[in-house]
Structure 1
Amino acid sequence: MKNNRGKKLSPGTLSNQALNLFAAHPGKKYNARQIIEKLKISNSKDAVLHVLKTLGRKSFLVHHKEDFFQWNKENLNLAVKSKSHDYFTGRVDLTRTGAAYVIVDGQESDIFVPERNTGNAMHRDIVKVEVPKRSNRRRPEGKIVEVITRSLTHVLGTLRVFHHYSIVFPDAASRFPEVLIKVEDLHEAKDGDKVVALITSWGNSQNKAIWGEVTSVLHEVDDNEVAMQTILLSAGFNLDFPDNVIKESEAIDGKITKKDIQERRDFRKILTFTIDPETAKDFDDALSYQVLENGETEIGVHIADVTHFLKENSALDKEAYDRSTSVYLVDRVLPMLPEKLSNDLCSLNPNEDKFTFSAVFTFNDKHKITSEWFGKTLIHSDRRFSYEEAQQRLETGEGEHAEVLRKINAIAHKLRKDRYRNGAINFESEEVRFVLDENKKPVSMTVKERKDAHLLIEDFMLLANKSVAKFVAKKTSPQVPYVYRIHDLPDPAKLTDFALFAKEMGYTMKLDSPKNIAESFNSLAKKIEQDATLRILSPLAIRTMAKAEYSTKNIGHYGLAFEYYSHFTSPIRRYSDVLAHRILFENLGDAIYRVDQESLEQKCKHISRQEVKAAEAERESVKYKQVEYMMSHIGDIFEAQISGMIEKGIFVELPASKAEGLIPFANFGGQYKMDVSKLKAMSKYTGHEYRMGDLVKVKLLDADLSTRKLEFELLEEED
């Protein structure tokens, strides 16, 4: 058994090591205190007991009197093998071949699971995987022995009715399983209907049939509706809120009472406005502006006070936590909160009094912060600006509140300049913007352009997020457990590979210090603006970065060059911000309030997982709309850039829309082959080369919505 020498284990690691102990001694009973002694850890007795009870509920252990636990005899076959195997808990990444990788927190390598050993685990499930301790394989390989948490709860597909049962057949593009339906669970659905089915049984090792019941019939839905709902369900997001959650939200009274006014700082008579996308329906944040008597400028960052309405442990709160995030597809938003809250009570709509939680900053004439204040407030938004309206005022100096916007923008520029001076990295993924018609069909798509109106809001949100995190971190010692948004240093191996690749493209990275790395990335961003062939380095640079995530263990945010950072500014659409609001509020003034750190860390992990799932769903919807748009352009010729190479062929990307497709080498008459550097392909006969970053002309041959793939033909260069 691994000796942890008094270390405090995360719940996931504790769970794995406790299971190994019980499996190695299946006849013995242990309580929480004995587990602490056996594992030589410093976790509290309550924390260990919580983990043991969880393992008991999941049938790994038997819960005896006086909180003693024992290995479940049904798992005895695993106990026999425990001395030769390790057990890990992780998330399934299922490939299209049927094999899977299990991603385990803290493990350098993902665990490969052949198709024959995946059991009935599905994409994104949380599973227990068994890995031999001694293996000659280069990469860890294992077998999934238990599904702990299911990601998928519903399946969308076409219903086929047979004599004794029915089957929901999923669309070919999805990773849904087929679901059997009993006659009594059809609920009036008919043969050929598009239906959503709730999975009620995942079967077992002897009978792997999956059973469910029809929960809704999709009448007169088009391909787009089916595709978008499939994307959401595949990612594990429920399309509708439970009835009890809707009922709870509808019962909430949003009136402002005299008591509310007395307990809050009142900003309702101070100029306040929002700046958001033209199509936005929920408004998380607003800015207020006033010049104080001493000549200093006060800017308030006012955030929707969701926790005023979202009571802890209510049905509404539990549903918000389960979702953890709103999901933004191209043509819709699946909200974290019901519409009564997201678009009404919490949303900072213009010309309405609203509850807010604010971070208020005072700036001198050098644009330096002289004071800050955090607390509950009331605001009245005087104006709702779209980004385009705000940008027009910044550029022309004309229009309502133009002068105020320009003054705020000047302060934002100073905040941004300071951030980059401290080592922040100015690299971001490019986003595609679609214009849809009344039938949600894309009529145009372009890469979003970020101008000062966007950056202004971003700078003040970053300031608020950084400041509240620092406030909580500095509150007392030991630190109050908090939800930090952390971002680690780039992976050294990935960074080295990228630097070699960039050098082949003509750009040299300095890797001798974190600050020089940041400066190299920022310098590259400027070079890319001047040299189109370097554009392909942008997404590759982003891939070298660590993924930002939520944690109670603060390591700072490398990309932003912040020692302390959290998410505070979007509680309507992020549950992390809800937690941040609650902890911050309880620690205002002289109060010191601590939540259980291990429990909070588990919530951070769940929210991070949900964020990844939402991002995957959003990317899938973009791919779908890109291909849907390109279907009306088959036969058209485009300028493209070679963005990648594999043994099979070259990838090209259309810079104007980020649409990407593969051109197989077979289409070149078999004369081209990729070089070992993976940076170029060379003709065996003429010596002609195609290099990464080259601009080429391509013709669109096919756009397949079922696979989300584009097929291009490379046009020969004219002499």
Structure 2
Amino acid sequence: MLLVVTVREYASSLTESPGLLDLVASTEPTEKDEDSFKKMFYEPHWSLEQIRSMLKRGELRQGVLRMSRSNCLEGSVMVEGLDEAILVQGRTHLNRALHDDVVALQLLDETCWVGASAKVIEREDLLEAEEKEEPSAGGAEGATDETLLAVEKQAHRQPTARVVGATRHLFVPADRRIPYIRLETRQVEQLVGKRIIVALDSWPRDSRNPKGHFVRVLGEIGDRETENEVVLLEHDCPHTAFSEAVLKCLPQMPWVITEKVFVISTVGVHIADVSHFIRPGTALDKEAQHRSTSVYLTNRRIDMVPDLLSSNLCSLRGNVDRFAFSVIWELTEDGIIVDHRFCKTIICSRGELSYEQAQQRIDDPNMTDSLTESLRDLNFIAKKLKARRIDDGALVLASMEVKFHVDPETDSVVDIVAKQHLETMSMVEEFMLLANVTAANTTLQHFPDCAMLRRHPAPPTSNFEPLLLACKSQAVELDVSSNKTLSDSLNKCEREGNPFFNSMLRIMTTRCMMQALYFCSGTLEYPEYYHYGLAMPTYTHFTSPIRRYADIIVHRLLGVIIDADTTYPELLDVKKQTELAQHINYRHKMAQYAGRASGAITAVSALKNKTVEYEAYVLFLHQNALQLLVPAIGQQMTLYLDYHVKERRAAVKSKTEELRNKGIKYKEEENPEPLPAFEFNEKELYVQCGDVVLRPFDEVVIQATVDASDVQHQRIVTKLVRPVIAGYSVPSIRTSDEPDTNKQERSKKLKPTAKIASDEGGPEVAAAVRKAEQEPKKKTGKTAARRAMPEEPTKNKVKKAKK
């Protein structure tokens, strides 16, 4: 007799291993039939056949749902053919869709359309109200731009969580845009205080929350390696050790270059020739493509390629021969290109300098050696290049960049330092941009259908509405009709007494931008290639193949063009290249999010067990909160306008429970002192409490500390110090004899980093400048290239390689 049982039944029978049942997925159907004994919280999803038919007829819309970071009941969907995102508001209309799901939408009647909510709503606000009438995202459930009909493709990331309940347990995903998850487990005692992975199984109509099952434990909450693992998993960043198959693709050490070369004179940018080592179709190539980008956390780097390449063979070191892919120009003193060519070379750096060392040479009038003079010449040309791009409409945006200095033994933050922006950084960046543009034009000319390019769409006018409203509140005019007018307007905006005003304006402008994207040239019309931020008709990435897979594709195309490499089917396949571009875009976006999440975790670590006062500036206003920019730690923080109300409520509750335990009935004061209330004027964009009015760009002083009551989501809590609002503000912790550092000096020290919207930022611009040996019979410009170098420069040899 053959006994047939389900996996769940078999696991249930193994009573000596209760944890096995936790690993079995739930089989409960998502679309249950109506049950008169159960309340259905959601409408049924439509069938895929019906949706596909209506999509073809144009009766439905399709796109990717992006949940709001400030409102867990609100999301938006960008749909092809529409200039602005479609708003999805409230649980009913979200209809069980999760962040990053591909969804089908039905637009509601235009009379039902509303704007985005002015409230900040977090998951915790919904938990207490779960048994009550469901709150809406903006005050009126059903007031939304559309209805979500079905989830066509679920995001594949696995949430990480912690236990907060009993019996049927409630798990809290690390990503606040994902709702709480219900699951059953027999090992709750072993899981409390741990970071774990859960898998989502279903979301039945009769459940407010999705259901899932336990997968595995990551480690203890608060452990730095565990927290890094959470960030990487949440953002789908591959980070496992490189496989043996990948490592076998690397050259054997010691590795030397065979001298089959002759000396030539060059002027140009030299990039490590990564494509020489990473050949198409190998295990190394497949892994690099899978990762697509390096990921930078505050205390860890996850490389796209093995360390032997990233830190050795593809690192252009001083006085060491290295394979390079070079772009060589003949330039006038004004930076006009007379001629250019790409070639595979071997370079031996004559000088290797840090940004600071290069800047010191340029600034020191007593230094007149040939290397220093070359740096000055390069800087002169770079300024010409930058000025011409800005005249064309390139945007100079700003960001708050700080460095966290971490004690390697205790893993605690010992210092936070603002990143300094030097002229040499801009100099290197300009030549990197020039190399990228030259590569884009060259590959497009020879491969018009399959060039790997990068575009930056112009933002729809609606994206600028919050920025324009903020400017209006400060009587500032901003012309956003084009990138040129926007750039000119930003350059004119200054505010006396507020050194951060222009930088904040540029930071807010960054929020209005669209995401820059890689694409295959054969899929779009030429006008759509335009890079809005750089004001360039065509652009790509050539300068960092060690950390970006898109650059490797560009190198391979250029190698074919100069007869230094051969093509292969996937390289010229428009469909394959399009799929690859989409994959790279996804990895790039998630790597950025992971870096920001890591920075936020490190900021929490820096403030743990401390209360610190900071100068901050109002960026955005909501009905119940202010979004603040805190330059000293490079973070944005939320100042809730009702924290004093919640504190009184919590105090009353605590006192009531304390006296109840003693058998005493607590009676609250009959006429307690009234608490200050804030009025939010959405039209004029200000909040007012008594005589105090707060608008965008206003300076405030706050106290910041870490709320560790929720071990899963330890977060920075802020309270207002100045301006003083009776009953709301808290006293300053600065002693009367403590000197208040000169504000102007403090602002100068912590001024946000301003840079061209170059699309070239990041670690690859930790570059250095190299000067090639001049051709004796023909005088040309100087050269710019990458990587940092030893103090003693050696004579630079540039050799043409035969590989």
User: Structure 1-normalised TM-score?
Assistant: 0.71
User: What is the 5 A alignment of 1:116-265?
Assistant: 122-125=98-101, 127-129=102-104, 131=106, 137-138=112-113, 139-143=144-148, 145-146=150-151, 148=153, 150-152=155-157, 155=160, 175=178, 202=201, 210=212, 214=216, 218=219, 223-241=223-241, 243-250=243-250, 255=255, 258=258
- Aligned match of 1:461: 432
Partner SS, residue 633 of structure 2:
coil
Change (3 A) 1:481 1:465: same
Report the AA paired with residue 643 of structure 1: L
For the Cα contact (< 8 Å) 2:432–2:543, is it kept in 1? yes
Q: Counterpart of 1:90?
A: 64
Cα 1:122–1:248 shift into 2, 3 Å: farther
SS at match of 2:608: helix
Alignment correspondent of 2:549: 575
Tell me what 2:375 maps to: 405
Question: Mapping of 1:236-385 within 5 angstroms?
Answer: 236-241=236-241, 243-250=243-250, 255=255, 258=258, 298-385=266-353
1:700 maps to a residue whose letter is A
Instruction: Pick one of 598, 615, 618 that aligns with 1:639.
Output: 615
Partner residue, 1:698: 702
Distance 2:244 2:214 in 1: 22
Q: Secondary structure at the match of 2:718?
A: strand
**Deviation of the 1:86 alpha carbon:** 3.0
Decide which moves more: 229-238 or 173-182: 173-182
Tell me the equivalent position of 1:517.
Answer: 486
Q: Secondary structure at the match of 2:539?
A: coil
Helix, strand or coil at the partner of 1:617: helix
Q: Greater CA radius of gyration, 1 or 2?
A: 2
Task: Give CA-to-partner distance per residue, 1:426-460, whole Å, 9 cap, x none.
Answer: 22323222222223322222332211121111011
Contact 2:157 2:234 (C-alpha < 8 Å) held by counterparts: yes
Tell me if 1:429 matches 2:405.
Answer: no
C-alpha displacement at 1:544, in angstroms?
A: 2.5
Instruction: Name 1:545's counterpart in structure 2.
Output: 513
Is 249-258 or 365-374 further displaced after alignment?
249-258
Equivalent residue number for residue 620 of structure 1: 597
Which of 626, 629, 642 lines up with 2:606 in the alignment?
Answer: 629
Structure 1 position 604, deviation (Å): 1.7
Deviation at 1:354, TM superposition (A): 1.8
Worse-matched range after superposition: 87-96 or 326-335:
87-96
Residues in 2 aligned to 1:462 and 1:337: alpha-carbon distance in whole angstroms: 24
Q: CA deviation at 1:240?
A: 0.6
The 1:664/1:678 distance shift into structure 2, 3 A limit, reads farther
Task: Output the amino acid matched with 1:647.
Answer: Q
Provide the secondary structure at the position in 1 that maps to 2:388: helix
Return the alpha-carbon distance in structure 1 between the equivalents of residues 358 and 105 of structure 2: 56
Deviation at 1:462, TM superposition (A): 0.3
Compute the displacement of 1:606 (Å). 2.1
RMSD: 4.3
Larger deviation, residues 495-504 vs 93-102 = 93-102
Q: How do 1:408-419 and structure 2 match up within 5 A?
A: 408-419=378-389
- Amino-acid identity (%): 24
**Structure 1 CA distance, aligned partners of 2:482 and 2:191?**
64
Aligned to 1:673: 679
C-alpha contact (below 8 Å) 1:361/1:371 kept by paired residues: yes
Q: Check whether the contact 2:325–2:344 (CA below 8 A) recurs between aligned residues.
A: yes
User: CA separation of 1:548/1:312 partners in 2, compared to 1, >3 Å: closer, same or farther?
Assistant: same
Report the Cα offset of residue 237 of structure 1: 1.3
**Counterpart Cα distance in 1 of 2:595 and 2:638:** 22
Distance 1:653 1:191 in 2: 37
* 1:311–1:501 CA distance, 2 compared to 1 (3 A): same
Q: Deviations over 1:67-115 (max 9, x none)?
A: xxxxxxx956767877796362535547674765444455432463865
Out of 463, 474, 498, the position equivalent to 2:467 is 498
Distance 1:446 1:128 in 2: 43
TM-score (norm 2): 0.64
Counterpart residue type for residue 311 of structure 2:
N
CA distance in 1, matches of 2:152, 2:295: 25
**Residue 485 (str. 1) matches residue 489 (str. 2):** no
Note the C-alpha offset of 1:715: 3.2
User: Greater CA deviation, 558-567 or 591-600?
Assistant: 591-600
SS at match of 2:353: strand
Q: 1:467: how far off?
A: 0.9
Match of 2:785 in 1: none
2:394 and 2:483 in contact (8 A); partners too: no
Counterparts of 1:242 and 1:156 in 2: how far apart (Å)?
A: 27
Using the TM superposition, give the Cα deviation of residue 322 of structure 1 relative to its aligned residue in structure 2, in angstroms. 2.4
Write out per-residue CA displacement over residues 151-206 of structure 1, whole angstroms, 9 at most, x where no aligned residue.
Answer: 3158576899x9xxx999667667598798999xx9xxx8779577696x846979
Report the Cα offset of residue 570 of structure 1.
0.8
Distance 2:594 2:505 in 1: 25
Answer yes or no: is 1:709 the counterpart of 2:716: yes
3-state SS of the aligned residue for 2:618? strand
CA contact (8 A) 1:443 1:629 kept: yes
Count of matched residue pairs: 597
1:471 maps to which of 442, 448, 468: 442
Q: How far apart are the structure 2 equivalents of 1:134 and 1:663?
A: 36
Query: Which structure has greater strand proportion?
Result: 1
SS of aligned partner of 1:385? coil
The structural deviation recorded for 1:461 is 0.3
Change (3 A) 1:692 1:226: same
The answer as to whether partners of 1:489 and 1:545 remain within 8 angstroms in 2 is yes
Structure 1 residues 196 and 338, CA gap change in structure 2 (3 angstroms): farther
Distance 2:341 2:597 in 1: 41
- Structure 1 counterpart of 2:688: 682
